[in-house]
Structure 1
């Protein structure tokens, strides 16, 4: 028997109240306005470990470039990474691309409709398969992400514990409240989205909005619950070189392409990194902060001169020159794209690019 704390009658009341709230308060997100399994799949992969606001722009741009599974499958990997650039966790993009190629070659371009079959695709795990199967196809299966786990732990008055027993308990609770599919509706998909929406907008990690919570009467915690200590963010100072040149009427920027066998972001382009002991007496052209997982990077960008060029760890011949007009289409690391946008070398959405003369650095 599943280990659950919610009687079936209470679970039914909980579902009903949550569904009514979701119908009235759900955010109007583009992937909620479609039943296209491919678009739902793309959104779920993008939303892994990424905030909704950060996904919106990338989601629209990705689907403009790759509107179908076949168009994604036929694209070079570098093009996929270029469109993905800025979202981070680039393995997601590579696995999405590989799965599209498999679906096109082996499944006639049709995405499987069950969680069990979806799990067989590259890069699709338990969470993503359940989300696609329930939201796109109406399978009665629970979706458990960090938001849902938090809601269920507070609902049942349990502390957060990184144990297999705790994970089983949460999975059992989630399965106990997910509805069966009803004719003419997608009750499981709507329910799973409602659970995630509740955790994302009301049942927040810090300072939950309990007085606005539709299921407050069912909750045993009514506030923050006991959580395990999070790993403290590390800090690291890094330096990069901005080196430009003019070739005819074109301006080029020197970039470094990470090795294809690198453990992190293989094949991605970045600005050349400088040793910190080589820049101590220089004033940076730009300072930015960039966070990746559990590290805050304090980034300083320096405009090239002969001394800094000699400080580079690689020979000049090992770097590549790329035209400004090509930068937006390259598979840049998220940090490189952020820096180049701040320096107005890549246009940000809605920002007019300066004229080439203003972008030259001597």
Structure 2
């Protein structure tokens, strides 16, 4: 009997969620089929902070998530394991965040000429630090993919998945990205930071393997982003306003999901910025925007991706931030999205059966 089978035989999925592995599961990086990479990084956030604590918030809330899935039998048996949260990454994020925040304040204050010499080198330092973070993520993904593991990422801000997308681009010749988000994230080097959280989609499109970027729920964007989304034939954006107007006029969410699926290729990477949801579900995220989706709307779309026969090749969930005084609401929602996405990922990869 294999070690994994022994763990499964001795584990009670109906019991109390012991504070061991994520979701109280007994697996480790050897026995789990899916490895979660936590990235506590938010150097370039431009509004509220706290997303660097997202992986820990999700981990802490995960023990309250029941493991039963009525349409995926014994989903927990696939095995999910989150790597230890890297303290060195968190420390670097905190240190460079102070530097970036001061630089952003200087920009917003009109770039006082007297302080120019003090601030002029900061973008280069920040870009280098972010590049090192991206490289660390890239190496983690390559390491576990070489072992045949499924890999997903838990941020941190939305800049964190770039290294993962790059690693997958070396494995897949062509794939699409399905982006759930309030923001287009198509800004070029926002606030002079090449790897800004507001530039993740722009940077991902530099990879020629990305055949399609399908954005869903976008409702906060600048004119240059709107122009890029319209003129770049690799981008198709489903704006939140347009989706809502269609629904108000009687178009079913199922039909809208079919329209979204029609824009996706066979292989799909999914990036979920939690602010794509209605902010009542993520009130402490870095840049909340009125509007957005219910959690089950997004998860229904993801289920349809799997049912369509498309293959999810990886995913991330980012921008979850805990509230003050230990408020776990955002982490609770993030943990539930993460667990469902993990199971749908497994079903897409043939490791689980979706009814």
The TM-score with structure 1 as length reference comes to 0.24
Which has more radius of gyration? 1
The TM-score with structure 2 as length reference comes to 0.24
Larger RCO: Structure 1 or Structure 2 (Cα < 8 Å, ≥ 6 residues apart)?
2
